[in-house]
Chain A
């Protein structure tokens, strides 16, 4: 069994709903590493809680309206528990081998129609889970994520700066939640 802490940055209002529903209302569609609830975790960065805060601040900004959508952010710290066989760890060679083999078999079949797909990690993972091919419950991966500073300064690197994970069924794999930090966006953004 694998147990680790995940940090989820959001608005204070959403955090209250999340704590009431154990994330049931915040499962999103995402092409990064599949549909689920996303967390910053230890890996490339030793400060995932800080990254979750920066994410909540960056996400508050509405670029069209030129103002923050919410004034208070919140970081929730959650304890995630998953069986080793149900964790697809794409930061490891083992996990990448599974994903590559899946895509190879997929591509081999589709090529018989003389067709090609754009293979996006998240779509392939959603497919493998919902078709019942692999018993995936949690997926980990390294990504380059743009926070407010990177967005303002136009940084867009390929070198990952975060390790994130998605939990597909929070009611099954999240065993504990509590608020790690809260604050006003205005005080933190500058």
Chain B
């Protein structure tokens, strides 16, 4: 199988004719997709970290309140 015009058209046709909400619900309920709620902090560092709470409907929460507010290198 190659990414021919026909294959591209089949893929485009599907995504052009489904709403984002419908795709989201189908992906989770029928195919077991999971939301990516990770925060990608690789190779980053911050001179200051403010108060920040990340939450999602999956109840995964990262509370940054308790972190050092001065210099917090977060690189892996």
Contacts and interface: CB of A to CB of B under 8 A. Distances in A.
A95 interface: yes
A127 B31 CA distance: 6
A85 B27 contact: no
Contacts of A88: 1
Q: Is the interface of B mostly helix, strand, loop or mixed?
A: helix
Contact of B2 (A97, A106, A108): A97
Contacts of A105: 11-12, 14-15
B36 interface: yes
Contact of A87 (B1, B3, B10, B11): B1
B29 to A, nearest CB: 12
Interface in A59-92: 84-89
Contacts of A158: none
A113 B3 contact: no
A134 B11 contact: yes
Given A106-B23, A133-B10, A133-B11, A94 B3 contact: yes
Interface of B: 1-3, 7-8, 10-12, 14-15, 18, 20-21, 23-24, 26-27, 30-36
Contact of B3 (A85, A89, A101): A101
Contacts, number: 73
A117 B34 contact: yes
Contacts of A108: 15
A116 B35 contact: yes
Given A110-B24, A133-B10, A98 B15 contact: no
Contacts of A127: 27, 30-31, 33
Given A109-B15, A109-B18, A112-B20, A126 B31 contact: yes
A123 B12 contact: no
A105 B7 CA distance: 13
Nearest to A125: B31
A133 B2 CA distance: 14
Contact of B8 (A89, A94, A101, A130): A101
Contact of B14 (A87, A98, A113, A131): A131
Counting chain A CB atoms within 10 Å of each CB, the highest count among B26, B31, B32, B34 belongs to: B31
B21 A116 contact: no
